[in-house]
């Protein structure tokens, strides 16, 4: 299995909702990443987990809460989002947090009303 | 100040018309430069990694090269299916981490 699977593919939520994005990989990768991408912009790093521990938080607002329950799963919990948070959220993984190729999922398209 | 600059922002080619995309970088201590392809609404897909100046990699109609200041992605005789956004990412050591910094990408459209 050489894929990163993200669910849901599309999510519409109100500003008072609580929702979660999920990411799964079975490649034995020990580093997992969340990126945010707006239209016609490059992916922006949000969080990095290395061996199930939060390694990097790029000063992301607390309304985004990451979780890594095990080495195969990565969640992004969403609460009280703003319309400007609407974007494509990409999950990626790599063998380790180092000089490695990132394998990206197809993304979750989030719309905040 | 951008550390990774890609040009042009957009490129339209006729099928078979070869061209090159540029990625220039200003990071010190480059450890690796990556090229990815991204189709609309999808995640980036890995194409090449280059580690040192003078290195070249090829895959079908694509060839990536690296100098000390920039990388080129040469597309030979492109086909419509090569239409996509091409992203360049550089990795440099920063406090022990190697997080890639992405450029804004070049949007390529190849007309039949």
Cross-chain residue pair A99–B46, CB shorter than 8 Å: no
Chain-centroid distance of CA B80 in Å reads: 18
Which residues in chain B are closer than 8 Å to A99, comparing Cβ atoms? 31-32, 91, 98
* Residue among B104, B109, B111 nearest B7 (CA): B104
pLDDT at res. A97: 87
- Tokens read off for A95: 């063998």
Cα separation, A42 vs B95, whole angstroms: 23
Cα separation, A77 vs B56, whole angstroms: 41
Long-range contacts of A43-49 (CB under 8 A, 24+ apart): A43/A90, A43/B44, A43/B87, A43/B102, A45/B99, A46/A76, A47/A76, A48/A97, A48/B97, A48/B99, A49/A74
Sequence-distant (≥ 6) Cβ neighbours of residue A90 within 8 angstroms? A6, A34, A35, A36, A37, A43, A104, A105, A107, B43, B44
Which residues in chain A are closer than 8 Å to B46, comparing Cβ atoms? 101-103
Q: Which of A57, A99, A105 to mutate to test the interface with B (most CBs of B within 10 A)?
A: A99
8 A C-beta contact, residue B13 and residue B78 = yes
Other beta carbons less than 10 A from residue B9's beta carbon: 11
Q: Which of B43, B104, B105 sits opposite A105 (nearest CB)?
A: B43
Task: Quick: pLDDT tens for B15-71.
Answer: 999 999 999 998 777 889 999 999 988 899 999 999 999 999 999 999 999 998 999
pLDDT at res. B99: 78
Which residues in chain B are closer than 8 Å to A42, comparing Cβ atoms? 87, 102-105
Cross-chain residue pair A88–B41, CB shorter than 8 Å: yes
pLDDT at res. B55: 96
* Interface of chain A toward chain B, CB-CB under 8 angstroms: 4, 40-43, 45, 48, 55-56, 88, 90, 92, 97-107, 109
**pLDDT above 90: residue B100:** no
Cα separation, B44 vs B25, whole angstroms: 20
pLDDT at res. B19: 98
B94 or A6, greater pLDDT: A6
pLDDT at res. B41: 85
Nearest C-alpha of chain A: how many angstroms from B17? 24
**pLDDT above 60: residue B1:** no
Average the pLDDT over B89-100 and give the result. Answer: 76
Q: What is the pLDDT along chain A (113 residues), one digit of tens a residue?
A: 669 999 999 999 998 889 999 999 999 999 999 999 998 899 999 999 999 999 999 899 999 999 999 999 999 999 999 999 999 999 999 999 887 899 999 999 999 99
């Amino acid at each position: 299995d050489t894929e990163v699977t993200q669910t849901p593919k599309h999510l519409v939520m109100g500003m008072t909702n609580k929702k979660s994005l999920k990411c799964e990989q079975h490649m034995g990768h020990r580093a997992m990443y969340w990126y945010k991408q707006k239209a016609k912009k490059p992916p922006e790093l949000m969080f990095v987990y290395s061996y199930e521990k939060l390694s990097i938080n790029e000063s992301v607002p607390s309304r985004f809460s990451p979780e890594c329950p095990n080495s195969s799963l990565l969640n992004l919990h969403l609460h009280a989002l703003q319309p400007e948070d609407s974007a494509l959220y990409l999950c990626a993984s790599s063998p380790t947090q180092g000089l490695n190729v990132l394998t990206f999922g197809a993304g979750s398209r989030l719309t905040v009303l | 100040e951008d550390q990774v600059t890609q040009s042009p922002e957009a490129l339209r080619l006729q099928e078979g018309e070869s061209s090159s995309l540029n990625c220039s970088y200003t990071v010190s201590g480059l450890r690796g430069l990556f090229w990815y392809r991204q189709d609309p609404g999808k995640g980036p897909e890995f194409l090449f990694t280059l580690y040192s100046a003078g290195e070249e990699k090829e895959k079908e109609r694509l060839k990536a090269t690296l100098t000390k200041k920039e990388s080129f992605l040469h597309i030979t005789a492109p086909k419509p299916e090569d239409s996509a956004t091409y992203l360049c990412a550089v990795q440099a050591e920063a406090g022990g981490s190697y997080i890639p910094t992405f450029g804004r990408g070049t949007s390529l459209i190849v007309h039949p």
